[in-house]
């Protein structure tokens, strides 16, 4: 088999295995290879803000003004429902597996993670930007999305009132060019992922996983259960094969698993939603970027399991009210949280003090954050694509020919 015929997904998986093995064999000496991985992450992240803003503006700008409210309500409702379900499953699994029971790990207060000191009032107000350039510079995705939604609404009103599509067409062209940049950068994905995983396993080591293996098992089982549930329900609603649907989301899942970043996985998620699953570009460009900031099922699962694990570690009594608080906080803390590696610890710093758990407990889970991030990012990314499919089916914007591969067959036959 020639190298050029190997799919990018296969190359990434090979790189993942080689990276882990290299890290174990070489050890800490391989640490400097992290630079290659960091360069890859930076090159992807440099386009994320404008990619998200451009996609949301284009998607909202081409929706008829009368349809905006109805579609937005559907999207937000599905985001909230899926996030709450993920938190509930996390609590149930943590109660069954008991990851916090019998852990003998010395906690230290040495952690750079601190909880944002803000009230609920301040948190809500901070969703809205006072300076969009400042928000873009800081990478504040929720503020950038709020601006993009308002810009898109204004563009929609302008386009429909004047029938002038020039601005919308220019934004579409700009988005195509940005995606072209992303595709160029993604060519180095196998090398970047190899470097990142070699660094993680070489410097942190797999031994850090042993005391908290039950926690990672809990995350893995939760991820599988939620994916199975959501893929099955989505397939039933869309009237497609669940196995075929699972195959369609495989590549974005692999990229999410190996990079542990929803932001970095976004271009692949959007491409596969449109070109493999058959979701219309309009729906994909609206749901997928919004989902990256507002729909974090994997993070909700992680926060719920973490709270139960630490409560078990400290031998705390967990009442029904305590469990409901975990569900509510695990859901709210996912709104607009950091979408790059390490963001889970920031969200955990928000939740723990509210649950009466000591902030230094984060040190217990910090060592395995990269590994737990693999599972939560897969859920964050794949579930966004599934919700995009649900919305597309409901809006009659699901192309079954693309899903079944008939479009490719037609194009192939027409070329002969």
Number of domains in the chain: 1
pLDDT number for residue 415: 46
d(CA 43, CA 23): 23
The strand pairing partners of 398, in sequence order, are: 279
pLDDT number for residue 119: 62
pLDDT number for residue 118: 56
- What is the residue range of 92's domain? 3-415
pLDDT number for residue 264: 80
Q: Are 61 and 155 in contact, with CB atoms under 8 Å apart?
A: yes
Quickly list DSSP for 26-57: HGGGGGGGHHHHHHHHHHHHHHHHHHHHHHHH
pLDDT number for residue 313: 83
pLDDT number for residue 2: 46
d(CA 403, CA 416): 22
Q: Are 326 and 307 in contact, with CB atoms under 8 Å apart?
A: yes
Who contacts 267 (Cβ-Cβ below 8 Å, separation ≥6)?
Answer: 44, 47, 51, 179, 182, 183, 186
pTM for the whole thing? Answer: 0.74
**131 CB-contact burial (10 Å; exposed 0-12 / middle 13-18 / buried 19+):** exposed
Q: Are 308 and 100 in contact, with CB atoms under 8 Å apart?
A: yes
pLDDT number for residue 84: 93
- Greatest Cα pair distance, the chain, in angstroms, is 70
pLDDT number for residue 207: 67
Q: 398 phi and psi, to 5 degrees? A: -110, 120
Q: For the chain, what is the total number of helices (H) and then of strands (E)? A: 20, 0
What's the N-to-C CA distance of the chain in angstroms?
A: 24
Q: Are 113 and 323 in contact, with CB atoms under 8 Å apart?
A: no
d(CA 312, CA 347): 20
Question: pLDDT tens string for the chain (416 positions)?
Answer: 444 567 776 787 788 889 888 988 888 888 888 888 888 878 877 887 888 788 888 878 877 777 777 888 888 899 989 999 999 999 999 999 988 876 665 554 444 444 445 566 776 787 788 999 998 888 777 788 889 889 988 998 998 889 888 998 999 899 888 888 878 887 888 898 888 888 878 887 666 666 678 899 999 999 999 999 999 999 999 999 999 999 999 999 998 998 888 878 888 999 999 999 999 988 998 888 888 877 889 989 999 999 998 888 888 888 888 888 888 888 877 765 555 555 677 677 778 777 777 777 776 777 677 888 889 999 999 999 999 999 999 999 999 999 988 755 544 344 44
pLDDT number for residue 285: 85
The strand pairing partners of 279, in sequence order, are: 398
pLDDT number for residue 133: 92
According to DSSP, residue 416 is labeled -
Residue 293 sits in a domain whose CATH number is 1.10.3860.10
CA atoms within 13 A on the CB side of 148: 25
pLDDT number for residue 113: 44
pLDDT number for residue 237: 95
């Amino acid at each position: 088999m020639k190298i050029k015929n190997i799919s990018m997904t296969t190359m990434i998986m090979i790189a993942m295995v080689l990276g882990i093995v290299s890290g174990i064999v070489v050890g800490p000496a391989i640490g400097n290879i992290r630079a290659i991985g960091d360069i890859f992450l930076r090159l992807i992240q440099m386009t994320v803000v404008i990619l998200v803003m451009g996609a949301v503006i284009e998607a909202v700008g081409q929706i008829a003004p009368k349809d905006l409210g109805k579609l937005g309500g559907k999207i937000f409702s599905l985001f909230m429902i899926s996030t709450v379900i993920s938190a509930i499953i996390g609590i149930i699994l943590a109660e069954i597996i008991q990851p916090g029971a019998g852990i003998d790990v010395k906690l230290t207060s040495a952690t750079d993670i601190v909880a944002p000191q803000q009230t609920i009032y301040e948190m809500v107000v901070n969703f809205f930007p006072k300076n969009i350039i400042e928000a873009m510079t800081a990478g504040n995705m929720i503020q950038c999305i709020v601006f993009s939604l308002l810009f898109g609404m204004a563009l929609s009103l302008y386009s429909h009132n004047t029938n002038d599509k020039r601005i919308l067409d220019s934004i579409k062209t700009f988005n195509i060019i940005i995606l072209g940049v992303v595709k160029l950068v993604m060519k180095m994905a196998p090398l970047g992922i190899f470097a990142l995983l070699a660094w993680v396993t070489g410097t942190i080591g797999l031994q850090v996983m042993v005391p908290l293996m039950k926690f990672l098992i809990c995350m893995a089982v939760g991820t599988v259960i939620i994916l199975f549930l959501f893929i099955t329900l989505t397939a039933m609603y869309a009237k497609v094969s669940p196995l075929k649907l699972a195959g369609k989301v495989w590549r974005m899942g692999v990229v999410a698993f190996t990079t542990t970043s929803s932001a970095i996985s976004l271009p692949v998620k959007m491409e596969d939603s449109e070109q493999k699953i058959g979701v219309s570009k309009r729906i994909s460009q609206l749901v997928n970027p919004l989902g990256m900031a507002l729909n974090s099922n994997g993070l909700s699962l992680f926060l719920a399991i973490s709270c139960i694990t630490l409560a078990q570690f400290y031998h705390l009594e967990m009442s029904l009210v305590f469990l409901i608080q975990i569900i509510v906080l695990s859901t709210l803390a996912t709104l607009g949280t950091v979408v790059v590696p390490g963001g889970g610890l920031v969200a955990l710093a928000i939740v723990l003090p509210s649950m009466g758990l000591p902030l230094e407990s984060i040190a217990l889970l910090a060592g395995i954050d990269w590994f737990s991030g693999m599972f939560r990012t897969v859920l964050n990314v794949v579930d966004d694509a599934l919700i995009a499919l649900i919305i597309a089916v409901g809006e009659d914007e699901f192309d079954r020919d693309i899903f079944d591969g008939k479009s490719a067959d037609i194009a192939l036959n027409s070329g002969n």
